[in-house]
Amino acid sequence: MTGAYQPIPLPDRADLTDAERAAAAQAFLSTMRKRHSVRDFTDRPVDEAVIADCIAAAASAPSGANHQPWHFVAIADPAMKARIREAAEAEEEAFYAGGGGDEWLAALEPIGTGASKPHLTTAPWLIVVFAERWGTTASGTRRKNYYVPESVGIATGFLITALHMAGLVCLTHTPNPMKFLNDLCARPAAEKPVMILVVGHPAGDATVPAAAKIKKPLAEVMTICRAPASAEG
């Protein structure tokens, strides 16, 4: 990831017609609209190779200066999941007891969340996403990373998409604070835990909050600046 600039020919190229491109975009939109954040899981196993491939997809994301400032800890060990649940619920109890503030708690009411997090032990996998705030060179000196939140956010989006494309469901879980995850996952102080992804199969009676399916219309989240029409004559 260091050294002089050396360009290589673009390794992969999509050569679609306009119609094929439009169809592909619409098909992907349809697929992603079927993604749901799930809190009701079964303990049905998921093969480790599937998780590894999804994390490999996440690790292919673009990043500032190509420093790839992320680390993913995939956890299937029931004892470790239980320890994470215990620590997370302790933080959540304080949050829902008032630590989160009235406005935040009111915003969460339509989502139906609470301090109890049984999915942390029921789901077959937890993936803890860490952001590497700084790196280390081969000589052992500290190296600055760039655009860390943005880079890790993109990689996490890749991961959630990869899990969905693999037929799995997941939940983004962000206990606050999350410093306990460094000790439980044996990660260095240079890394900051960003979230826990709960991963697996939905329970037969899984539900989602109706409010979560209300998305802003496209006109509210997109602005198009078109080129001016050419003058005639």
Interval 195-211 mean pLDDT: 97
Confidence band for 33, pLDDT divided at 50, 70 and 90: very high
Secondary-structure class of domain 37-203 per CATH: alpha beta
State how far the alpha carbon of 123 is from the alpha carbons of 29, 38, 41, 109, 203, in Å.
27, 11, 5, 24, 10
Q: What is the pTM of this model?
A: 0.94
102-106, 168-172, 175-179, range with greatest mean pLDDT: 168-172
What does the pLDDT read at residue 138?
83
Parse the chain into domains and list their residue ranges.
Answer: 37-203
Query: Is the per-residue pLDDT at 30 higher than 80?
Result: yes
Query: Is the per-residue pLDDT at 233 higher than 60?
Result: no
Interval 23-47 mean pLDDT: 97
What does the pLDDT read at residue 153?
98
Residues 80-86: contacts with CB within 8 Å, 24+ apart?
A: 80/184, 81/120, 81/121, 81/126, 82/121, 83/184, 84/120, 84/126, 84/128, 84/181, 84/184, 84/196, 85/117, 85/118, 85/120, 85/121
pLDDT in tens, 41-80: 999 999 999 999 999 999 999 999 999 999 999 999 999 9
pLDDT in tens, 112-142: 999 999 999 999 999 999 999 998 888 889 9
Confidence band for 1, pLDDT divided at 50, 70 and 90: low
